[in-house]
């Protein structure tokens, strides 16, 4: 029997990647709905038109999507709308793959985790970098003790400003902030997995110099420094620092500094490089980590295994974002919890 999956909203562009992957899988039946799509001020198609292009059957409302009786849902709505959809999916008994960040506020996130726990459904956070071979290698090397003791970490998650494709990313209310909300959590999740610990204090600085001519009223550049109880120090650069003219969307790097040396990974680095008539060409050739993540989601729920990355790490990484936002306002390091 095929697993029935409903994609809830095309607000996040990652929904397109997930839809393409699901459309190619013989073991799932997928539908999509994007009720807010028609009203969104986005460049490019949304709603039924986009679903058609993705070869996914479309329904007009969340009501219809839930009436269809999905086994699982993928929540790719605007960040602030995750809560209502996750709560609704939990009530409907559907397992959930929720786009990152879990929510825009800790209050929403707590309500979501409670709803999931009450309904005994599974919740997985869409942190695909966890599934990359580069991160797996780094984690294996760390666990084998090659680095000695980790003492410091540097993460970078930089990209273009997600403005043309989806305007809500730069809407304080819908996104919960700018680059700090969009790009801290991936690195924070990898660090969480490596250290198996939550940061104790967060110091963050941010500015709006990048893309300052675009009328954006959220932070476009940011640096977040974390201290862990073990003494480990980590800094994440979350800036939307790639210009529109760049030949790639951006990337993520993670450097682990240990007493024996360093390991640095760049999960999106593998590519063909060259030039065409308009300039530099960057053709990614890395593994499809979204596909690996979705495969883990489907296979773990099929076998009744716990879904990972789970809601708890979604919450811990949101705590870091929340602390970073508070630190930017106060100018001081703040406690995470």
Partner 1 sequence: MGASTDGSIATLRVGMIGAGGIARVHMEAWRALGVSVEVYSTDGGEALAAEYGITHVATLEDLLDRVDLVDIVTPSSTHRRVALAAINAGRHVICEKPLAATSADAIEITRAARRAGVQVYPAHVVRYFPEYEALKASIDTGVIGDPAVLRFTRAGEAPRADSWFFDEADGGGLVLDQMIHDLDQARWLAGEVGTVYAVQNPATVDGRVAPIVTAHVILTHVSGAISYVQGFWGPPGLTFRTSVDVAGSGGLLGYESPDDGAVRVDVPFAAAEGDYLPGTRHADDPYARELRDFAEALAGGPTPRVGLEDGILAVALAEAAQASIVSGRPVAFDADSVIAKLGEAAK
Q: Which residues bind partner 1 (CB under 8 A)?
A: 148, 151-152, 154, 156, 158, 201, 203, 205-207, 209-213, 220-223, 225, 227, 231-235, 237, 239, 241-243, 245-246, 257, 259-262, 331-333
Place of tokens 């999931």: 116
Taking the least distance from each CB to partner 1, the nearer of 60 and 330 is 330
Taking the least distance from each CB to partner 1, the nearer of 57 and 231 is 231
Taking the least distance from each CB to partner 1, the nearer of 111 and 205 is 205
Nearest alpha-carbon partner for 271 in 281, 261, 259, 260: 281
91 Ramachandran zone, left/alpha/beta (phi>0; psi -120 to 50)? alpha
From residue 136, how far is each of 21, 101, 131 by CA, in Å?
A: 22, 22, 7
To partner 1, the closest distance from the beta carbon of 171 in angstroms equals 21
To partner 1, the closest distance from the beta carbon of 223 in angstroms equals 5
Nearest alpha-carbon partner for 43 in 165, 221, 213: 165
Taking the C-alpha atoms of residue 189 and residue 127, their distance in angstroms, rounded to an integer, is 7
To partner 1, the closest distance from the beta carbon of 153 in angstroms equals 9
Structure tokens at 216: 């954006």
To partner 1, the closest distance from the beta carbon of 147 in angstroms equals 10
To partner 1, the closest distance from the beta carbon of 80 in angstroms equals 26
Helices (H), the chain: 14-23, 47-53, 62-67, 82-91, 106-119, 133-143, 172-175, 179-183, 185-195, 289-302, 311-330
Backbone angles phi, psi at 159, to 5 degrees: -170, -175
To partner 1, the closest distance from the beta carbon of 319 in angstroms equals 19
Taking the least distance from each CB to partner 1, the nearer of 57 and 148 is 148
Taking the least distance from each CB to partner 1, the nearer of 122 and 251 is 251
Taking the least distance from each CB to partner 1, the nearer of 61 and 262 is 262
């Amino acid at each position: 029997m095929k697993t029935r999956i409903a994609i809830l909203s095309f607000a996040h562009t990652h929904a397109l990647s997930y839809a393409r992957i699901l459309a190619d899988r013989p073991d799932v039946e997928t539908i999509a709905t994007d009720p807010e799509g028609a009203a969104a001020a986005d460049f490019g198609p949304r709603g039924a038109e986009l679903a058609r292009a993705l070869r996914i059957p479309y329904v007009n409302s969340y009501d219809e999507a839930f009436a269809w009786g999905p086994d699982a849902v993928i929540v790719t709505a605007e960040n602030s709308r995750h809560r209502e959809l996750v709560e609704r999916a939990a009530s409907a008994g559907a397992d959930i793959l929720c786009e990152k960040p879990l929510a825009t506020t800790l209050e929403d996130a707590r309500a979501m985790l409670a709803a999931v726990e009450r309904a005994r459904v599974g919740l997985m956070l869409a942190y695909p970098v966890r599934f990359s071979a580069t991160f797996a290698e780094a984690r294996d090397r760390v666990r084998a003790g090659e680095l000695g003791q980790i003492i410091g970490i540097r993460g970078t998650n930089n990209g273009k400003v997600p403005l043309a494709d989806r305007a809500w990313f730069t809407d304080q209310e819908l996104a919960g902030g700018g680059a700090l909300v969009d790009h801290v959590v991936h690195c924070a999740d990898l660090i969480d997995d490596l250290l198996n610990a939550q940061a104790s204090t967060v110091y963050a600085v941010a500015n709006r110099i990048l893309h300052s001519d675009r009328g954006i009223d959220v932070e476009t550049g940011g640096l977040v420094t974390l201290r862990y109880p073990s003494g480990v120090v980590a800094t994440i650069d979350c800036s939307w620092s790639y210009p529109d003219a760049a030949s790639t969307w951006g990337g993520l790097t993670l450097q682990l500094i240990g007493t024996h040396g360093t390991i640095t990974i760049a999960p999106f680095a593998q590519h063909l490089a060259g030039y065409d008539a308009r300039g530099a060409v960057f053709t990614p050739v890395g593994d499809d980590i979204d596909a690996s993540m979705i495969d883990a989601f489907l296979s773990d729920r099929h076998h009744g295994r716990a879904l990972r990355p789970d809601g708890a790490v979604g919450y811990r990484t949101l705590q870091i974002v929340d602390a970073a936002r508070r630190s930017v306002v106060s100018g001081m390091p703040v406690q995470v919890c």
